[in-house]
């Protein structure tokens, strides 16, 4: 059987704590090349990932795949904006063409025909080689194929979806659909967002880092994986790891690469992300060790038998499985109800410069619970960093003038980030008014932030760093509050 190829996930390079310099990214790319990895996956919503890849001319050495936001940015799916956003991605990547151009997630509020027409126009212009889908249901893949054939549009030939030893629901319906239409499967999250490397008891009592349940991304992971059957399966996973002396991450990577339903014959691939050079070397070494023994594979089947009833489909659809009637049958209802909750709580959100980390976490939790489903998904993607700079870049990334406006914001004396609508439908007058209001209402934040930092100058470095971190988190929440007050269309 032909081996399954590897693709490096470029989302992590937007995090400067992982790859602080362009030189550190370039070092990672050299390691990838030495190990035969020839493709990098990124997306428009992955913050500065595209820009940083462009700055080191990655497209001259690697095939680059990127994604249109799709359902992660519902306002961005008109035919005109599809072209504008794709050209923006190409500009950041400093290339004329990408290898695969995906729709990152389905937009169930928007006419599929117009979205696909925009994609086909890009294909005819030579902007990408292959068309891909991500996070679409099997029935939606069938509909995309039907429309493309009827209209004579470019057909999808690649699909990117969630797949790991504890997330195998795609095997039942989605994978057969892809095989029928000769669509290759690219598996993301082979270690289940890190779940397969965790200790069940720690997750029961909470978690930290990306798995902090009070954080936005941690909230998503806990919703997807912190369930009774999933935790029971994780305990068995830990037992298998110890019994056979194989690290848990390696166990997960090798299973997906060699013992799963993936096959190189269908040009399936695995997308893996790493946050450090050390982790990159460890992961590549794990893949190089080959298939797991049949005894190990049989025990992993037992893990799946335990978790199957609770297993998530993917990161996009998983958050809506608790309310399928609302979201899938009448998505506008979900948006309307949560929008009303946001409006009712707007005063608390926009005046939220809070003095402690605990209160900030409480605010994030409240904000998350009251967000429109589409915006919740967007906020939970890797594209949103805790850095204020990254939040600003994210907000302006979805409209034609976003790049220029971002540069103007960074060049100003204050970050006018507050109530920036990422919908291109906003008029210039409205945007100008929003920016002015933002400057006025964030002025007190700037003053208090400066005062806090100045007051700390006689303290040690650790104290100053803590104040800086808390200040950034506070301003981030203030900005997020303004973002979600922006006008929103259910059209």
Count of other CB atoms within 10 angstroms of residue 490: 13
Cβ(399)–Cβ(424) below 8 Å:
yes
Q: How far is Cα 276 from Cα 25, in angstroms, rounded to an integer?
A: 10
Alpha-carbon dihedral of residues 12, 13, 14, 17, nearest 10 degrees? 90
d(CA 222, CA 212): 9
Q: Assess whether 101 carries a catalytic annotation.
A: no
**How far is Cα 397 from Cα 395, in angstroms, rounded to an integer?**
6
* CA–CA gap between residue 448 and residue 466 (Å, rounded): 15
Name beta bridge partners: 186: 160, 269
CA angle 47–52–389, rounded 5-degree value:
40
How remote is the C-alpha of 412 from its chain's centroid? 29
DSSP, res 391: H
CA distance to 122, 312, 366, 485, per residue, from 372 (Å) = 30, 21, 13, 11
CB atoms within 10 A of CB 1: 9
Question: Which residue among 19, 46, 188, 415 is the active-site one?
Answer: 46
Q: Rounded to 5, what percent of the chain is helix, strand, coil?
A: 60, 10, 30
Annotated catalytic residues are 46
């Amino acid at each position: 059987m032909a081996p399954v190829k590897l693709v490096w996930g470029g989302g992590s390079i937007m995090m400067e704590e992982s790859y602080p310099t362009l030189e550190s990214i370039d070092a990672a790319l050299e390691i990838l090349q030495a190990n035969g990895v020839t493709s990098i996956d990124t997306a428009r919503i992955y913050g500065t990932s595209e820009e940083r890849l462009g700055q080191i001319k990655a497209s001259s050495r690697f095939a680059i795949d990127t994604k249109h936001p799709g359902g992660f940015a519902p306002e961005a799916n008109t035919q005109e904006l599809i072209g504008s956003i794709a050209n923006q991605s190409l500009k950041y990547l400093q290339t004329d063409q990408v290898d695969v151009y995906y729709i990152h997630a389905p937009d169930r509020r928007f006419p599929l025909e117009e979205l696909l027409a925009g994609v086909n126009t890009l294909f005819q212009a030579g902007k990408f080689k292959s068309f891909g889908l991500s996070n679409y249901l099997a029935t939606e893949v069938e509909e995309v194929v039907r429309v493309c054939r009827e209209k004579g549009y470019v057909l999808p030939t690649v699909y990117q979806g969630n797949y790991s030893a504890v997330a195998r629901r795609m095997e039942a319906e989605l994978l057969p659909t892809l095989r029928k239409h000769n669509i290759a499967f690219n598996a993301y999250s082979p270690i289940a967002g890190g779940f397969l490397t965790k200790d069940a008891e720690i997750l029961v009592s909470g978690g930290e880092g990306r798995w902090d349940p009070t954080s936005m991304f941690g909230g998503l992971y806990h919703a997807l994986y912190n369930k009774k059957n999933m935790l029971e399966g994780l305990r068995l996973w830990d037992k298998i790891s110890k019994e056979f002396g194989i690290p848990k991450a390696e166990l997960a990577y090798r299973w997906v690469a060699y013992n799963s339903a993936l096959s190189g014959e269908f040009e399936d691939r695995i997308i893996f992300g790493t946050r450090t050079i050390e982790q990159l070397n460890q992961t590549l070494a794990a893949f190089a060790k080959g298939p797991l023994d049949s005894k190990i594979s049989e025990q992993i089947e037992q893990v799946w038998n335990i978790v199957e009833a609770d297993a998530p489909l993917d990161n996009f659809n998983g958050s809506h499985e608790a309310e399928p009637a609302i979201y899938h049958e009448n998505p506008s209802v979900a948006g309307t109800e949560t929008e009303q909750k946001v409006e009712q709580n707007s005063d608390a959100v926009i005046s939220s410069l809070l003095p402690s980390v605990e209160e900030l976490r409480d605010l994030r939790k409240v904000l998350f619970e009251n967000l429109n489903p589409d915006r919740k998904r967007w906020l939970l993607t890797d594209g949103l960093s805790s850095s204020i700079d990254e939040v600003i870049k994210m907000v302006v990334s979805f409209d034609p003038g976003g790049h220029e406006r971002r540069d103007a914001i960074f060049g100003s004396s204050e970050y006018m980030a507050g109530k920036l609508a990422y919908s291109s439908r906003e008029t210039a007058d409205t945007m100008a008014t929003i920016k002015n209001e933002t400057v006025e209402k964030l002025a007190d934040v700037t003053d208090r932030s400066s005062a806090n930092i100045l007051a700390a100058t006689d303290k040690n470095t650790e104290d100053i760093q803590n104040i800086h971190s808390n200040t950034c988190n506070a301003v981030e929440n203030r900005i997020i509050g303004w973002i979600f007050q922006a006008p929103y269309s259910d059209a």
